Structures are given as structure tokens and as C-alpha cells.
Amino acid sequence: MPLVNMKKMLIDAVDGGYAVGAFNILDYNSMRAVIDCAKELNAPVIVQTSVKTVKLWGQKAMASWARELCDSCAVPVALHLDHCTDVDYVAQCIDHGWSSVMIDASAQSFETNLEWTTRVVGMAKPHNISVEAELGAIVGVEDDIFVQERDAHLADPDLSEQFCQAVDIDCFAPAIGTAHGIYKGEPVIAYDLIESITKRTRIPLALHGGTGLSDEVFKKCIALGCAKINISTQLKHVFIDSFVEYVRDHSTEYNPLKPLASQYDALKQNIAEKIILFGSAGKAGQEKM
């Protein structure tokens, strides 16, 4: 099937009490691992691309990989642009075929954030493309966005409600205590804040900074309304470690396809564990396209 946006898959996830995994890919091999894994598990899935990764390969190439991989696939796949801080770049990705985009104007004032998000929604909706926006500041490094702990702040429930009433977004990413990168200590998740934002916005929430959270934390966040869970850092580690370990263990072998195959298998295994944990395995059949 063609690429789909993430609106319906996230509403279905909220209704069904599960979450859809949004996996950050790095190249064709990792994109293939995500989509093949979703196919095998009959799960809806979000292929997530950071702006830096898109700039490396080019929009045309990445969109064509995704289209080609989805053509032969019966599960719903969204191609989503992660944390884009540039409205013009979002427009270019929409032109090239992304089915979903995130505008991250969380570093701007509330008014500017709302204004940029409204512009993106205006560009995206006529093309049936879903939009995610962020409020508050999620600590850590994501792409070129660096938020220090002292600058991080959680989303305010009043402002969250105001924001989501003012603009028609499909997924909302409030800062609720998770962090990008690797956790240094036990993360303090503001569960009460997730609950209150879910009740007041009625929009599926995105959980950023999924790497390193315990199974229990994931389950609790899903039960409170997190319908999209981002996994990025973990896959970066698996991507490098699996390749390096294969080469280290087969140091006389110079067949590049073998470490690539090993990398693909390792990524797929990690992605499968998350899809099963999030409860989205077997849920693709429930999608009515």
C-alpha cells in the first residue's frame, strides 16, 4: 500500500490501548529493517527520519526508498520527519512525499510556536499529511537541537490545552520528563501531567526519549495516552555495534554484505521487541484504509 499518514494509526492505538513505534532510521538498510519487521509482525509503523539524515541522503532518495519498500507491503507505514525546526524544510519534505511531519518550534515563544505550527498544518492538511508539534523543552540532544538540563521545562497543561485547541495537529509532544539520548539516572516521568494533558487535549501523545525506559514505564505511559513512542538512540547503538562486532569477529573476511546482513538482523530483532512491548503487533489488520 502507499505511505499513509499517522492520524488514523494513532487514534486506533489510543482506542486499542497500545502504541505505535516510531523508529529513527539511518539509511536504506535500517529503513528496510523497520518495514520488514512491521510486515512480519503485522504492525502499523512509523519510519522516522531526522533532518540531518535526510540532508545526508537527500529527500528524493529517501522518499523513493520508502515508497519502494511500502509498495509490496500490506501494513500501514508512515514516513515521518522528526524534530524539524525549519518551516521551509518541512515544506520541501511534504513536496517530496513525506506522509507525516513534526514542526519543532518548542524553543520559540508560545505564540511563535503556535504560528509556525499553524503554517505547517496549513501546508500539510490539503495533502493529507499528519502533523506533530512540541511544547515545553525535552532535555538532551536530538539532531542539532541541544537542550541543557537547566533549560528543560515540562509542558504546562493550560498552555497545552490552549495550543491544541488553537491548531489542528494529529500528535502532540509535550515535555513530560523524558530525555533524548542515554539516561544518566532514573528518569522522573510526570505521569500526572501525561494524564492531565491527554484528558484536556484529546490528542494522541508522542513519547520522545524512549531509549532506556523500562518496560513498566512504557506500559504506564501508553495506558495514559502515549500513542507514538520514539526510539532513536538505541537503534543508533545497535546500528554501529552490530556492524563493528561482526567485523571484529570476522577480521579476515572482506565481504561488506555480511556485516550489513548482521546489522539488519540485529536492528530487526530490537525493533521487534519494541513493537511487541508496545502492543502494536497484529494490529495492522484492524486498520481500515
- In the complex, minimum distance from the CB of residue 42 to Zn ion, in angstroms, rounded to a whole number: 27
Please give the residues from 99 up to 158 whose contact with Zn ion meets the rule CB under 5 A.
Answer: 142
Confirm whether 82 is a catalytic residue. Answer: yes
On whether the CB atoms of residues 222 and 246 are closer than 8 A, the answer is no
How many residues at the interface with Zn ion, by CB under 5 A?
2
- In the complex, minimum distance from the CB of residue 269 to Zn ion, in angstroms, rounded to a whole number: 23
- In the complex, minimum distance from the CB of residue 230 to Zn ion, in angstroms, rounded to a whole number: 5
The x, y and z cell numbers of residue 261, run together, are: 546482513
Q: Which of 82, 104, 143, 170 is catalytic?
A: 82
**Judged by CB under 5 A, which stretch of 43-51, 188-196, 205-213, 233-241 contacts Zn ion?**
205-213
Distance CA 234, CA 260 (A): 18
Which of 275, 68, 222, 55 shows the shortest CA–CA distance to 143? 55
Nearer to Zn ion, 12 or 143 (CB): 143
Nearer to Zn ion, 142 or 170 (CB): 142
On whether the CB atoms of residues 82 and 106 are closer than 8 A, the answer is no
b/e per residue 84-117 (b: at least 16 CB within 10 A):
bbeeebbbebbebbbbbbbbbbbeeeeeebbbbb
Nearer to Zn ion, 68 or 86 (CB): 86
Beta strand segments in 76-158, E: 77-84, 100-103, 130-135, 140-142, 145-147
On whether the CB atoms of residues 24 and 231 are closer than 8 A, the answer is yes
Nearer to Zn ion, 173 or 284 (CB): 173
- In the complex, minimum distance from the CB of residue 247 to Zn ion, in angstroms, rounded to a whole number: 30
**Judged by CB under 5 A, which stretch of 149-157, 203-211, 243-251, 281-289 contacts Zn ion?**
203-211
Distance CA 17, CA 250 (A): 44
Contact pick of 7, 39, 80, 208 for Zn ion (by CB under 5 A): 208
Q: Which residues are catalytic?
A: 82
Q: Which residues bind Zn ion (CB under 5 A)?
A: 142, 208
